[in-house]
Amino acid sequence: MSVQLGMPVPPSGGATGSTESGVAVPPQRPTGTPAGLWDRYGRRATDMRLSLTDKCNLRCTYCMPAEGLEWLSKQAVMSKDEIIRIVRIGVNALGVRELRLTGGEPLVRADLVDIIAGIRNDHPDLPISMTTNGVGLDKKAAALKAAGLTRINVSLDSLHEETFAKLTRRPFLDRVLAGVDAAWAAGLGPVKLNAVLMRGINDAESPDLLAWALGRGYELRFIEQMPLDADHGWTRRNMITAAEIRDLLSRDFVLDKDPRERDGAPAERFEVRRRDTATGAATGPVLGTVGIIASVTEPFCSDCRRTRITAEGKIMSCLFSREEFDLLGLLRGGATDDQLASRWQDAMWVKPKAHGMDHTGLGAADFVQPDRSMSAIGG
């Protein structure tokens, strides 16, 4: 449940306060707002998603165009020390309690292990997870664990070479599978797997993917495809909804809501048991859980606890924000930790109430897709 602060709620929209050298600056939050990353609707962000790079070695159709994107220059991207400082401010001054490293593909950063070690050195108890496509993870899993990474999420949409290559536009399935196993062996568990289902491509495979994950003790989570592809090919009509995912899985499995509290988690979790083909009833023990992240059709904006920092140090309060506020520029201009924390709080104060993706059921008439694609934001 979100906390109600009893603060005046200004009209939404038009959040940008002013510009400094052409860069958007958020309006100042009202005086007296509490410490921490609160917004005007009473939500507090404690879960930080930090993008380490916009670069990637795959070209997933729902994320990147085949030809890739124009990468940021090295200078434009946060350095190791800048990342470590920003995390320190988030944790020590603003109450961040969980960190997820993402991208682009975090494994393509040569200083990844040093970044994690530096953050871990400052925050011995902070849960640090990472979302990765798994390419090259087999070689790095042990070092990541030793540096202080807590856990890993690997994206895996198909177990069939051809389908994998069609979806990611790269023939790297074997490398990803090796990475998943290496992460588990290195102690980076529980290993979570992320899958996006695309109609007519990998949707029919979903029960087999779940059976495979359960058999190995990995927690699979299906993510509804969101309109964050660089090609702007998403349509509400063509995406596979959470309801369809549950239907697809019910061919082989019975899903019962996990009784554990969801606690702000994006995934709704279900306990999974085999379906008896003769009777249709559940049979045997609980095999594990599956998560469904229904950002489009069953959004969880009212309980959102996320704050995002892009690879070039911009604060995004929501994946679908059309406004982003520069933290890195301020940092490089010599700002103090207090000034940086205050800018971050201002940026979060104007977080939109909801993303508004699912209005019409067909086209989401007043929803405007952000300019950035998922890889450039940090999913």
Contact mark string toward ligand SAM, 6..45, x via CB under 6 A: ----------------------------------------
Q: Helices 112-122 & 137-147, crossing angle to 10 degrees?
A: 20
Of 53 and 317, which has the nearer Cβ to ligand SF4? 53
Q: Quote the least distance from Cβ 102 to ligand SF4, whole Å.
A: 8
Q: Quote the least distance from Cβ 219 to ligand SF4, whole Å.
A: 19
Q: Which residues bind ligand SF4 (CB under 6 A)?
A: 56, 58-60, 63-64, 103-105, 133, 155, 374-375
Q: Where are the alpha helices (DSSP H) in 195-334?
A: 206-216, 242-249, 328-332
* Residues numbered 78-117 forming contacts with ligand SAM, rule: CB under 6 A: 102-103, 105
Q: Quote the least distance from Cβ 172 to ligand SF4, whole Å.
A: 10
Using Cβ positions, the residue closest to ligand SAM within the complex turns out to be 379
Residue from 15, 37, 45, 56 binding ligand SAM (CB under 6 A): 56
Of 89 and 240, which has the nearer Cβ to ligand SAM? 240
Longest dimension (CA), the chain: 69
Choose the one of ligand SF4, ligand SAM, none that binds residue 226, judging by a C-beta under 5 to 8 angstroms depending on kind: ligand SAM
CA distance 291 to 178: 23
Residue range at the interface with ligand SAM (CB under 6 A); choices 88-96, 222-230, 242-250, 283-291: 222-230
Which residue type sits at 123?
A: H
Nearest to 77 by CA among 104, 46, 43, 95: 104
Residue range at the interface with ligand SAM (CB under 6 A); choices 65-73, 223-231, 308-316, 359-367: 223-231
Of 46 and 225, which has the nearer Cβ to ligand SF4? 225
Q: In this structure, is the dihedral angle defined by the CA atoms of residues 234, 238, 240 and 241, taken in order, positive or negative?
A: positive
Which two structure tokens, joined as six digits, stand for 5? 């602060």
Residue range at the interface with ligand SAM (CB under 6 A); choices 41-49, 125-133, 338-346, 355-363: 125-133
Cβ neighbours of 89 (radius 10 Å):
19
Considering the rule CB under 6 A, would residue 132 count as an interface residue with ligand SAM? yes
Considering the rule CB under 6 A, would residue 317 count as an interface residue with ligand SAM? no
DSSP strand E in the chain: where? Answer: 18-20, 23-25, 37-38, 44-45, 47-51, 98-102, 128-132, 151-155, 192-196, 219-223, 253-257, 268-275, 282-293, 306-309, 314-316, 325-326
Considering the rule CB under 6 A, would residue 206 count as an interface residue with ligand SAM? no
Of 194 and 310, which has the nearer Cβ to ligand SAM? 194
CA distance 274 to 253: 4
Measured CA distances, 159 to 135, 164, 220, 231, 239 (Å) = 15, 7, 13, 25, 20
Considering the rule CB under 6 A, would residue 297 count as an interface residue with ligand SAM? no
Of 63 and 84, which has the nearer Cβ to ligand SF4? 63
Of 103 and 352, which has the nearer Cβ to ligand SAM? 103
Of 178 and 214, which has the nearer Cβ to ligand SF4? 178
Residues near 70 by beta carbon (within 8 Å), at least 6 away in sequence: none
Of 105 and 312, which has the nearer Cβ to ligand SAM? 105
Cβ neighbours of 376 (radius 10 Å):
25
């979790």: which residue's tokens? 269
Q: Quote the least distance from Cβ 239 to ligand SAM, whole Å.
A: 9
Q: Quote the least distance from Cβ 378 to ligand SF4, whole Å.
A: 9
CA distance 107 to 262: 29
Q: Which residues bind ligand SAM (CB under 6 A)?
A: 56, 62-63, 102-103, 105, 131-133, 155, 194, 196, 223, 225-226, 228-229, 374-375, 379
